[in-house]
């Protein structure tokens, strides 16, 4: 398989970095969204530089699509490094109600210190950061469902940005910060493509699907067997042929219609037809 050097993150993400850093300064807490299927690849490589010493919470989003064993492995891994973690499904709202109590817990000491200094209690400010498609807008919508009002502008934040008031004592910036994913490892590009974090066509579809099938054969052989009747010992060609025949993806003359097979596999992967799957593995951890 050829690993081409590909630009799968647009340059404007770098340009917005300074802006994000400025906004982060105003926050009491930062929510960093990870894709639970990609707890390593979806982590921004410069996160520490961006948020410095701000308290933060790592949210493993799309828990419904991930392999729960892997999610727990990585949550523990990040917890051991001092991060606060929570797995959520922003689309259905699962566990979203746990965010606020955990945020209050994280900020408890800070609030107590401020109170001891005689400072008036004030709303806690927070914002969401994450790579494209990780679910930032979905989470903002989910959180604002219970929001009473949108509050007025705050100095230092441009007019177009608003705060969403979450209860009496919590305010969320309604504009998330868009970060770029890890990209130094070519494997990461495939992981991002499989989950739809980067657009189809950035990497050759054949390559992405071949990578996915080989990956599934290695880590989830039972799922391939169940869905397509693929055996663990099959070659890549045999896997494609098995899917093609089962789904009637044959061109005139009996040749395999690879474009259709690709679509079937990618759609199945992203719609949980093969069960909860994760594409980073423990050996990918090298932070």
> Residue numbers of the site for ligand GDP (CB under 6 A)?
61-62, 64-65, 89-91, 130, 132-138
Q: Out of ligand GDP, Mg ion, none, which partner does residue 213 contact, by CB within 5 to 8 A per kind?
A: none
- The verdict on 137 binding Mg ion (CB under 5 A) reads yes
Its sign, for the CA torsion 251, 247, 271, 225, is: negative
Residue nearest ligand GDP (C-beta atom): 135
Q: Considering beta carbons, is residue 137 or 242 the nearer one to Mg ion? A: 137
Helices (H), the chain: 12-15, 17-25, 47-51, 68-80, 99-106, 108-116, 136-145, 186-194, 205-219, 221-228, 236-246, 258-270
* Structure tokens given for 257: 């219609």
Q: Out of Mg ion, ligand GDP, none, which partner does residue 217 contact, by CB within 5 to 8 A per kind?
A: none
Q: Out of ligand GDP, Mg ion, none, which partner does residue 125 contact, by CB within 5 to 8 A per kind?
A: none
Residues paired with 32 in a beta bridge: 58, 129
- Could you tell me the smallest distance in angstroms from the CB atom of residue 34 to Mg ion? 15
Query: Going by DSSP bridges, is the β-strand pair 170-173/163-165 parallel, antiparallel, or unpaired?
Result: antiparallel
- Could you tell me the smallest distance in angstroms from the CB atom of residue 40 to ligand GDP? 18
- Could you tell me the smallest distance in angstroms from the CB atom of residue 234 to ligand GDP? 29
Its sign, for the CA torsion 47, 51, 52, 57, is: negative
Give Cβ neighbours of residue 215 (< 8 Å, ≥ 6 apart).
279
- Could you tell me the smallest distance in angstroms from the CB atom of residue 167 to ligand GDP? 22
Q: Out of ligand GDP, Mg ion, none, which partner does residue 134 contact, by CB within 5 to 8 A per kind?
A: ligand GDP
Interacting residues with Mg ion (CB under 5 A): 136-137
């Amino acid at each position: 398989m050829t690993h081409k050097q590909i630009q799968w993150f647009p340059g404007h993400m770098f340009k917005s970095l300074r802006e994000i850093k400025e906004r982060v300064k105003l926050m009491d807490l930062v929510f960093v969204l990870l894709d639970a299927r990609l707890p390593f690849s979806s982590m921004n490589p410069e996160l520490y530089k961006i948020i410095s010493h701000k308290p933060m919470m790592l949210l493993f989003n799309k828990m419904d699509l991930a392999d729960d064993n892997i999610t727990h492995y990585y949550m523990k891994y990040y917890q051991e490094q001092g991060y606060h973690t929570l797995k959520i499904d922003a689309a259905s709202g699962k566990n979203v109600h746990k965010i606020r109590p955990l945020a209050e817990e994280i900020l408890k000491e800070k609030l107590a210190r401020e109170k001891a200094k005689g400072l008036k209690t004030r709303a806690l400010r927070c914002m969401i950061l994450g790579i494209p498609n990780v679910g930032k807008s979905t989470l903002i919508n989910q959180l604002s469902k219970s929001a009473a009002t949108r509050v007025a502008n705050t100095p230092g934040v441009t007019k177009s940005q608003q705060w969403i008031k979450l209860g009496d004592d919590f305010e969320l910036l309604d504009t998330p910060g868009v970060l770029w994913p890890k990209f130094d490892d070519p494997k990461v590009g495939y992981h991002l493509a499989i989950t739809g974090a980067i657009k189809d066509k950035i990497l050759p579809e054949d390559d992405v699907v071949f990578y996915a099938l080989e990956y599934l054969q290695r880590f989830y052989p039972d799922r391939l067997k169940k869905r397509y009747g693929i055996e663990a010992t099959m070659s890549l060609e045999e896997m494609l042929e098995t899917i093609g025949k089962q789904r009637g993806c044959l061109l005139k003359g009996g040749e395999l219609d690879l474009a259709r097979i690709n679509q079937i596999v990618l759609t199945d992967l992203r719609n949980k037809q093969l069960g909860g799957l994760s594409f980073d593995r423990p050996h990918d951890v090298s932070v």
